[in-house]
């Protein structure tokens, strides 16, 4: 692991610490900072991951950094500047647009480096939105979490092209390996879901929001049921995060198709490795581009066949023809929103013979081990920190 300069204190800022890829990356990097001999601070509005963060030896500070109110953003800049001075912060790293503006102003007031991670595609429908988004490209170091996102930054914010570093999101590959997940953990989760023994599970791990495409998977499950060949249960594991209307719409769609016994909304899943160990196939059904696609990487790390929507950064994480030969495939890619194509891919994945499945999943696991480990991600992030500190 890369070592930081002596007495380095890194302050990361993120809206909250509930489930999500940016949130998990925040914790991973905080642990790496501590392991490298530094001090890790995180400012957020709180959330279910705070206790895990603090158990790593990092410090969490509560502030209203989720707000987009301009007055609150300005006040947050003052709060962050005070924290920088109080804790002798060496650099500040912002992971979302609203707190990034506060972090930028605080960094400039206190003359410390400002680093950003461009985590999403961010809607850019007008000039005002473009300016709002531009804060994520104003860092002394700008981290893009995929080559797809790096290209987007260069297209939108050409002034930042020389400061971009691509660091693809890493996952805990050892923890995800199925041999490291006990039968007890798997059974506890299966019991909580109410899944009968021997029933294949189609797993969708994503927060409940329309662009994640849960409705597409529900429609595909209806097509599978109508064909009468397969009888899997789809588990939609994700927090609604206040989108109760969308959750209600999904329940209505499930009822309209008569799928109450075959599609289940189970809420947030804290034990991702156990969920994947139970899955026969994992589905990422997004209908808008994924900036990276952690769920697909984690499925492959867990040796679970994966089906993904073919857009965004997916070609970097899941290999499939025509970009690679059939014997290099690590999963299936289908057109976004195409329920019939998804149903066909599900049928293919669920009927694979054991030998072909093992070849595919071994290849997929090798692919992610080579490219998407949390250690590689953290080492490269600390290298960015060291570079901007040296240039300061």
Mean pLDDT (whole number) for 156-183: 93
Strand order in the sheet with 332-334: 263-265, 233-237, 201-205, 281-284, 306-309, 332-334
pLDDT in tens, 288-340: 998 888 899 999 999 999 999 999 998 889 999 999 999 999 999 999 999 99
Q: Residue 1's pLDDT is what?
A: 62
**pLDDT surpasses 80 at 60:** yes
- Residue 145 has φ and ψ, to the nearest 5°, of -90, 10
Q: Residue 5's pLDDT is what?
A: 86
Same fold, 9-170+373-391 and 173-371: yes
pLDDT in tens, 333-359: 999 999 999 999 999 999 999 999 999
Q: Residue 67's pLDDT is what?
A: 95
pLDDT in tens, 8-56: 999 999 999 987 788 999 999 999 999 999 999 999 999 999 999 999 9
pLDDT in tens, 370-387: 889 999 999 999 999 999
**pLDDT surpasses 90 at 4:** no
Q: Which residues contact 273 (CB under 8 A, 6 or more apart)?
A: 175, 176, 177, 178, 180, 181, 185, 302
| Pairing verdict, β 9-13 and 39-44 | parallel
- Say if pTM beats, i.e. exceeds, 0.75: yes
Q: Hey, which CATH number is domain 9-170+373-391, 2.60.200.20, 1.20.140.150, 3.40.50.2000, 3.10.129.10?
A: 3.40.50.2000
Tokens of residue 328, six digits: 């290099």
pLDDT in tens, 101-137: 999 999 999 999 999 999 888 988 899 999 999 999 9
Domain ranges of the chain: 9-170+373-391, 173-371
173-371 fold:
Rossmann fold (3.40.50)
Q: Residue 3's pLDDT is what?
A: 79
Q: Which residues contact 159 (CB under 8 A, 6 or more apart)?
A: 137
**Cα–Cα distance measured from residue 44 to residue 133, given in angstroms and rounded to the nearest whole number:** 20
> Is 52 in contact with 172 (CB distance < 8 Å)?
no
CA separation (Å) from 102 to 49, 50, 59?
23, 21, 19
Mean pLDDT (whole number) for 188-196: 93
> How much of the chain, in percent, has pLDDT values that exceed 70?
100
pLDDT in tens, 214-247: 999 999 999 999 988 778 999 999 988 888 999 9
Task: Return mean pLDDT, the chain.
Answer: 94
Q: Residue 71's pLDDT is what?
A: 96
């Amino acid at each position: 692991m890369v070592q930081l300069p002596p007495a380095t204190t890194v302050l990361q800022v993120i809206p909250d610490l509930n489930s999500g890829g940016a949130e998990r990356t925040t914790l991973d990097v905080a642990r790496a900072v501590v392991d490298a001999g530094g001090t890790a601070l995180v400012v957020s509005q709180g959330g279910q991951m705070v206790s895990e963060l603090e158990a790593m030896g990092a410090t969490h500070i509560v502030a209203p950094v989720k707000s987009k109110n301009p007055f609150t953003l300005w006040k947050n800049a003052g709060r962050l500047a005070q924290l920088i001075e109080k804790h002798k912060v060496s650099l500040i790293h912002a992971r979302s647009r609203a707190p990034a503006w506060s972090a930028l102003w605080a960094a400039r007031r206190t003359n410390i480096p400002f680093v950003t991670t461009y985590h999403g595609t961010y809607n850019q429908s007008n000039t005002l939105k473009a300016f709002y988004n531009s804060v994520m490209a104003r860092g002394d170091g700008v981290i893009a979490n995929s080559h797809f996102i790096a290209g987007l930054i260069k297209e939108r914010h050409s002034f930042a092209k020389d400061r971009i570093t691509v660091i693809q999101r890493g996952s805990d590959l050892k923890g995800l390996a199925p041999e490291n997940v006990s039968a007890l953990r798997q059974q506890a989760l299966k019991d909580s879901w109410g899944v009968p023994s021997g029933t294949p599970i189609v797993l969708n791990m994503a927060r409940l929001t329309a662009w994640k495409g849960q409705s597409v998977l529900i429609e595909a499950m209806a097509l599978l049921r109508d064909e009468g060949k397969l009888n899997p249960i789809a588990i939609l594991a994700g927090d609604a995060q206040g989108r109760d209307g969308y959750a209600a719409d999904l329940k209505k769609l499930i009822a309209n198709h008569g799928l109450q016994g075959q599609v289940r909304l189970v809420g947030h899943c804290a034990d991702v490795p156990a969920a994947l160990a139970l899955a026969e196939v994992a589905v990422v059904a997004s209908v808008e581009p994924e900036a990276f696609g952690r769920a697909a990487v984690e499925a492959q790390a867990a040796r679970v066949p994966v089906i993904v929507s073919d857009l965004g950064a997916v070609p970097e994480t899941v290999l499939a023809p025509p970009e690679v030969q059939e014997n290099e495939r690590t999963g299936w890619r289908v057109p976004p929103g195409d329920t019939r194509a998804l149903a066909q891919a599900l049928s293919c994945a669920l009927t694979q013979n054991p030998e072909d499945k093992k070849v595919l999943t071994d290849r997929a696991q090798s692919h992610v081990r080579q490219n998407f480990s949390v250690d590689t991600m953290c080492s490269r992030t600390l290298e960015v920190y060291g570079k901007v500190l040296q240039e300061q």
